[in-house]
Chain A
Amino acid sequence: AQSVTQPDIHITVSEGASLELRCNYSYGATPYLFWYVQSPGQGLQLLLKYFSGDTLVQGIKGFEAEFKRSQSSFNLRKPSVHWSDAAEYFCAVDTGRRALTFGSGTRLQVQP
């Protein structure tokens, strides 16, 4: 069965600093890969997705993610974090069911 690991439960960065959130998946083939963001008490918003082609994908709000097949990873990055980026971030995979397997999430705190 597929699984998704987000090893960092909680990350704190200073405003303006760079950010990298880690995601590793376990699956026999290459799944579709997603990053979602959830603000407190809110629903989920899609940041970006990878399904084929260029392994560096651009998303909304200045985020990007890089797919590395050899490492089964899909890490999320942002060069300069804004206070409004404080939220919980979820990595997810779709292995063909058209339903997602999520990681447990990484909570991002931004210090002024």
Chain B
Amino acid sequence: NAGVTQTPKFQVLKTGQSMTLQCAQDMNHEYMSWYRQDPGMGLRLIHYSVGAGITDQGEVPNGYNVSRSTTEDFPLRLLSAAPSQTSVYFCASTDPVEADTQYFGPGTRLTVL
């Protein structure tokens, strides 16, 4: 099992550009989520999904879109990047059998100039 994979590892964007952060898991977990990590603020939930076709907003959803067409994939889209979106992004999938243990990807470090 590869677990949770994220691409790219690093990305630099200019203000106004769009991009998609990819996230995939091979554990057949229904639940997946996206977080951003900023210094002094811990990780904050952006969006989450409870299954294919179902997504919901977390605490900081503005500026981000998600979709979930398959169980395996949960991409995060930035439609028009802003410097405030400079952050490290983590994707996770949840195993409800293991008391909701979350498995995190390695992260994507995004810089918006």
Contact = CB atoms under 8 A, between A and B. Distances in A.
Interface of A: 6, 9, 32, 34, 43-44, 46, 49, 51, 90, 92, 94, 97-105
Given A43-B107, A49-B101, A98-B96, A105 B42 contact: yes
A46 B95 CA distance: 13
Contact of B43 (A9, A32, A46, A100): A100
B100 A94 contact: yes
Contacts of B43: 44, 90, 92, 100, 102
B12 interface: no
Interface stretch (B17-25, B44-52, B62-70): B44-52
A102 B56 CA distance: 18
Nearest to B47: A99
Q: Say whether chain B's binding surface is mostly helix, strand, loop, or mixed.
A: strand
A99 B90 CA distance: 12
A76 to B, nearest CB: 15
Nearest to A103: B42
Contacts of A98: 30-31, 33, 48, 50, 94, 96, 100
A9 B39 CA distance: 11
Given A51-B99, A97-B48, A99-B33, A44 B42 contact: no
Nearest to B59: A101
Contacts of A103: 42
A99 B31 contact: yes
